[in-house]
Amino acid sequence: MISVTDLRKVYRQGNREVVALDGVTMDVPQGSIHGIIGHSGAGKSTLVRCLTLLDRPTSGSVALNGKDLTNVSDKELLTARRRIGMVFQHANLFDSRTTEENVAFPLELTGQSKEERAKKVQDLLRLTGLTDFAKAYPSQLSGGQRQRVGIARALAADPDVLLCDEPTSALDPRTTEEILDLIRSLRDRLNITVLVITHEMHVVKRICDSVSLLEGGKIVESGALSEVVSAGGRLSEAVLPLPGNAASIAEGPILELLYSGDQAYSPVISAITKTFGIDVNVLAGSIEELGTNKFAHLRLQLDPSTDVDAVLQFLTDRGISATVKGA
Ligand SMILES: Nc1ncnc2c1ncn2[C@@H]1O[C@H](COP(=O)(O)OP(=O)(O)OP(=O)(O)O)[C@@H](O)[C@H]1O
């Protein structure tokens, strides 16, 4: 479990102050995968540096399993940092070391026997699908395989938290899916807490249980993926985007519908047409399955004669969030 409370980081640039983190608070429970998404300059890198205490926050706290890391001695901090395994965009491997030697590197500092280290490395290679590449050098590996080595190395010290900073930004789409699936399967097998910092929504959609939107150093939306999608805010728009310029072919009110669960497959449109005896035109739609939940986002144009308030009530009664566009 990692808990961040009111984290602030202010940089000084001459006379100017830059507030890179402005009161970030979040709790990520043991065994869950939390995504932090934000555009360039939102404060993601600063957050990573503050979470690992590579950069001291100006105020606020970062606690790992209840222990406040902002309040420990430098020696304790060194030990505490090993509880957080780091995965970066580029694996930054030692070119002169083989896969197994790269993975063994953090273990060389732990005082374990050679046999214990060798067994641990073999376990990690099996876990990350690298057994056949144990003797290969980084130059003989693909980008995805190198990232696997980086992940195996990050797990060597049995961390409580795996902090992944843009883990797939340098990979092609297929390798991205493989690495994301690996991260999720590691969480399933090791019950490790995972924090994924990314600017890519598909990363969040593919593996995260919960997500926070970071903007200008603040978390502006946060929650379980199903909650934020149903809430109809900015994350919802990003997960279930509709084209902004879907042309209407006739006059009539335009409604946007957002709904989840089994209702995502319910015949909403035919229910409206039958109940109100009107024509309905689908301007745009997006249906997604995220984890075990399904979500739908539709933009509909209704007959000009429609009693819009009655349709809105009809939809609300069925647990469907509906808003009139351009009203
Ligand atoms: N060492 C520093 N000194 C002064 N300002 C800084 C420093 N590091 C970051 N900043 C500022 O803090 C803000 C957040 O930067 P940060 O690098 O954390 O954003 P980011 O979301 O990681 O962006 P990117 O995705 O482009 O790396 C920016 O306005 C940046 O200019």
Closest CA to 134 of 119, 149, 156, 114: 149
Q: What is the pLDDT of residues 188-233, one digit of tens each?
A: 999 999 999 999 999 999 999 999 999 999 999 999 988 898 888 8
By most ligand atoms within 8 Å of CB, the mutation choice from 10, 15, 44 for ligand 1 is 44
Q: What is the pLDDT of residues 4-54, one digit of tens each?
A: 999 999 999 889 999 999 999 999 999 999 999 999 999 999 999 999 888
- Both tokens of 286, joined, read 């997006």
State the chain's mean pLDDT as an integer: 91
Query: Does ipTM exceed 0.85?
Result: yes
Least confident interval from 95-99, 115-119, 234-238, 245-249:
245-249
By most ligand atoms within 8 Å of CB, the mutation choice from 11, 13, 37, 58 for ligand 1 is 11
For residue 224, list its beta bridge partners: 210
What domains are defined for the chain? 2-83+159-226 (3.40.50.300), 93-145 (no CATH), 252-325 (3.30.70.260)
Residue 112 is predicted with a pLDDT of 84
Give the closest residue (by CA) to ligand 1 atom 11.
Answer: 20
When pLDDT is averaged across residues 123-129 and rounded to a whole number, the result is 96
When pLDDT is averaged across residues 55-65 and rounded to a whole number, the result is 93
43 in contact with ligand 1, CB cutoff 6 A:
yes
CA 49 / ligand 1 centre spacing (Å): 11
* Phi-psi region at 158: left, alpha or beta (left = phi > 0; alpha = psi -120 to 50): left
159 in contact with ligand 1, CB cutoff 6 A:
no
Closest CA to 197 of 87, 327, 307, 71: 87
Residue 22 is predicted with a pLDDT of 97
Atom of ligand 1 nearest to the CA of 49: 18
11 in contact with ligand 1, CB cutoff 6 A:
yes
